[in-house]
Amino acid sequence: MTIGLVAQPWWVNLAILVPVAAYFSWRRNPIPITVSQLIIVALFAASFGFVEATVVVYLRAASGLLPGYQGTLADVVRLTRQPQPIAVRELPPSLVGLEVLREAATMLMLLSVALLTPLRAKGRVAVFLWAFAVWDAVYYASLWATVRWPNSITDRDILFLIPEPWFAPVWFPVLVCALTVLAVLLTRATPSNANLSR
Q: For 35-44, what is each residue's pLDDT tens digit?
A: 999 999 999 9
pLDDT digits (tens, 9 = 90+) for 63-75: 666 666 555 555 5
Task: Give the helix/strand (H/E) hosting 57.
Answer: helix 35-62
Sign of the Cα pseudo-torsion (143, 164, 129, 30, in order): positive
For residues 162-183, one letter each, b for 16 or more C-beta atoms within 10 angstroms of the residue's C-beta and e for the rest, the string is: eeebbbbbbebbbbbbebbbeb
Condensed to tens digits (0 to 9), the pLDDT of residues 58-102 reads 777 776 666 665 555 555 555 554 445 455 566 667 777 777 888
- The residues, ordered by sequence, that sit 6+ positions from 26 with a Cβ below 8 Å of its Cβ are 122, 126, 183, 187
pLDDT at 197: 41
CA distance 137 to 189: 24
> What is d(CA 97, CA 99) in angstroms, rounded to the nearest whole number?
5
